[in-house]
Structure 1
Amino acid sequence: MTTDVTPELAEAIQRGYDRRDRANMVPTIAYFQALLAEHPGHPVLVYEVGGAYDTAGQEETARGYYERALALGLDGDVLRRCLCQYASTLRWLGELDESLAVLDRARREFPDSDSVRVCNG
């Protein structure tokens, strides 16, 4: 499985963000689901679908996507963002020990990241 994001895919992801309405995430979820259907199993798109559900307040659904994206293999900045969001989702779901374990991983893998430090704050 490739984690590569072509320039075209990066543009498509950005279009999803540009059109996002946080008050009504249904179209954004549908957009990222359709994009994932075009690129089945792409870890970055699995993560993006999870993020859309997370923004919609559907943490339990988001959790499954985050876990799947991590299992498929993320790296770099997308991995950092996924770990922070996944830890936050686990915290919202009341799974504090699991959340702390994810944050510990983020700290180990991204020791110089300001956003990881903020997540840990």
Structure 2
Amino acid sequence: MQAAPALNPDKTASATGLRTAVAILDRWGATGEQGEAILRVSHSTYARAKRKDGLASISLDRDQLTRVSFVLNIHAALRTIFDNPDNLYGFMRMPNDNAFFLGRSPLEVMGGGDIVAVYETFRRIDVLRGSQW
């Protein structure tokens, strides 16, 4: 009997982070195109993460891992700010009058795929939480 192949902890962590980020984006109401742009992953990778299958061999580059981290940290900040699930999951779809958003929702801004927009969205939400990181 052959031993099972060893799991690569980096790939396992990447797959777990990606699946979690995709689930959060789904709860926020992001479209597939927005999610793919925010995480900078292909349509097929995003679809596999949404189905939660076939990600055992996924390798994410530093930029993709950073984007996953921003989504997870935005979600953590929103959980600190809001008790109400409607606000926790709806905030990212709500128009925002902050000068950076110019009446657009955070998802609209991040959905363009620019890493700076993803970072700046995180930064502004983190300030609402009191920047306790």
TM-score interval (norm. to shorter) = under 0.3
Relative contact order, CA 8 A, sep 6+: which one is greater?
2
State which structure, 1 or 2, has the greater radius of gyration over its C-alpha atoms.
Answer: 2
Q: TM-score, normalised by structure 2?
A: 0.24
Q: TM-score, normalised by structure 1?
A: 0.25
